[in-house]
Structure 1
């Protein structure tokens, strides 16, 4: 019996992450990425992470129910002001370590949810 979830053809699946890279649907990406169900883009993000860093996600906010923000190996909540600013602009962001964000993205995407993952490398 096959118990793997059915994934739509062309959907972006996070297969692996390590040593500053991600393998997504067979393609290796160096550094931070944003994974949407239909595409993966390199993500240029500043060390002090502000609203402007989320421009690619804000541009597609109406298409997303949730954004999973993978913060690397550990979790540290971004400043309240950033969280509030993103919410005010229509982004529901969940903050977690990158591994949890990768796993959660795959599950939600396979369920057909409108999700994206913004991932800092480990």
Structure 2
């Protein structure tokens, strides 16, 4: 994936067409690994299933917080709750956060994006 800011970046929001096998397909492109879907575009993300999420994993999200009302977090095959620290971080920047399995998060993201809602997503690859 790359169009613009180097490898691992698509400079536009796009629906996720397929997920699984360790990656995602969108906008006639594919990416192995996790992704952040932000108002500025789709970015490669270093998060992996089974590793705890930390505030600095969301630096790019926070940088665009003024354009995000809803943050969906696809936590892998299963739903894993967000830490109190992460929930407080997102709230302090005016974002509602919702953890769910990656599959459910992808489906919800696609619906919200098609409705032109101020949504972003962090998807851990499955």
TM-score category of the 2 structures, normalised to the smaller one: 0.7 to 0.9
Which has the higher mean CA deviation after the structures are superposed, 52-61 or 32-41?
Answer: 32-41
Deviation at 1:91, TM superposition (A): 2.7
Q: Which runs of 5+ in 2 are unaligned?
A: 1-11
TM-score, normalisation: structure 2: 0.82
The answer as to whether partners of 1:65 and 1:114 remain within 8 angstroms in 2 is yes
The answer as to whether partners of 1:12 and 1:37 remain within 8 angstroms in 2 is no
Q: 1:79 to 1:30 in 2, by over 3 A?
A: same
In the alignment, the residues of structure 2 paired with residue 38 and residue 53 of structure 1 have an alpha-carbon distance, to the nearest angstrom, of: 17
Aligned Cα RMSD in Å?
1.6
Q: 1:37 to 1:89 in 2, by over 3 A?
A: closer
Aligned mate of 1:70, from 74, 86, 95: 74
Name the count of aligned residue pairs: 113
Displaced runs of 4+ in structure 1, greater than 6 A? Answer: none
TM-score, normalisation: structure 1: 0.84
The answer as to whether partners of 1:72 and 1:121 remain within 8 angstroms in 2 is yes
In the alignment, the residues of structure 1 paired with residue 43 and residue 54 of structure 2 have an alpha-carbon distance, to the nearest angstrom, of: 18
Q: Which runs of 5+ in 1 are unaligned?
A: 1-9
Pick 1 or 2: higher relative contact order, CA cutoff 8 A, min separation 6.
1
